[in-house]
Chains A and B, each alone.
Chain A
Amino acid sequence: MSKELEHSFISQLEEHQNIVHKICRIYTNDSDAHKDLFQEITIQLWKAYPKFRGDAKFSTWMYRVALNTAITLYRKSKKQPKTQDIDNVVYKVRSEPYDDTQERQLRLIYDAIKQLNDIEKALVFLYLEDKNYCEISETLGISEVNARVKMNRIKTKLKTILNP
């Protein structure tokens, strides 16, 4: 593929990489798996990029490919991933003062989300990203009504996990 295509792809990915990192945070539990999934998503995005026509926003298209990879295409490697190039980069945690109670509450919700299944995680992720139900239904391939119903059920499920 041409250098021009490579350049435009990587520039856009660089700009929107947060989306991929957030998906990795939802679907993986440690930094190795995060790096591994990030890499697979990048490869899948790159493979699908020639078909990206630009009629949708790059970020919208990214949500689809990245979620598809996390839900369907990605298989966790048993071996350590060979991604030395991003070692020490992915998990640079910013240290800043925080409110302990608030942080604990956030951690609890985060842990509850981690207990959901892959599809539920996708719905919650899109909800957290402030996508409307039309976009959620198009990304997942289900009807808008069903996406809304399912989201309400997930909220109830999360509530039960948080307040058993």
Chain B
Amino acid sequence: MEELDFFKKEWQKKSDALPKLSYDELYAMILKRSRSTVKWIFIVCLMEFVLGLLITLLYHPQFEKNIKVPPFLEWTSYLLIPVLVYFIYRFFSNYRKISADSSVKGLLDNIIRSRRTVKAYILFNLIYGGIISMYMMIHNFVSSKGGWDEFISHADSKEYLLVIGVTLISTAIVLGFFIGFYALIYGFFMRRLKRNYNELKKIEF
């Protein structure tokens, strides 16, 4: 393309028309703080881990004491700790690989990989939380009706539908809220990154 080659010549000739910063001006710049996307993705991911951990360890509302949690549910909460440790380890090992001097695709690959770990962690939490809350909702409803035996012997199909309907709708609302929240936070940081990643992938096919 002739025009581009003409532009290329001009582009190289025009170097001396570019601004020139002094040593002191450049020095002042390295003292400033970075505002990079990766830094913010990292901060948000860490906040998610810390928040998840704090809720598990510290948040024990009053109503929890009145509910008799079935033993199998108590056991699953112990399983959460090794899972959390695994996810944090994976996240940090991926994050360490993120380097500004890798190739453009390499950098995008590494960011997306470490982001995927946190996404898996969130998904795991949502599914786990969803199952527990659905179970607890049904369990509480049935308890208020005098227990399983009592409920089964008296309940009609309307009551069954009510239990299932309320449980599904409320779970969907909570999950929808969380998914929307995450999409908003990460959409903010990840949109441009993903667009460029897809563009590079397109070149490779």
Contacts and interface: CB of A to CB of B under 8 A. Distances in A.
A140 B7 contact: no
A21 B19 contact: yes
A101 interface: no
Majority DSSP secondary structure for residues of B touching A: helix
Given A43-B32, A68-B104, A68-B107, A106 B21 contact: no
Interface stretch (B10-18, B57-65, B134-142, B153-161): B10-18
A133 interface: no
Contacts of A92: 19
B35 A17 contact: no
Interface residues of A, number: 73
A128 B11 contact: yes
Interface in B1-58: 1, 3-4, 6-8, 10-12, 15-23, 25-30, 32-38, 40
Given A13-B26, A17-B26, A140-B105, A89 B100 contact: no
16 contacts: A17-B21, A22-B15, A44-B34, A44-B100, A47-B34, A47-B100, A61-B101, A64-B103, A65-B100, A75-B36, A105-B3, A106-B10, A118-B196, A122-B104, A147-B203, A159-B3
Interface of B: 1, 3-4, 6-8, 10-12, 15-23, 25-30, 32-38, 40, 99-109, 111, 189, 192-193, 195-196, 199-200, 203-204
Given A90-B21, A128-B7, 5 more contacts: A42-B26, A89-B20, A109-B7, A130-B8, A139-B103
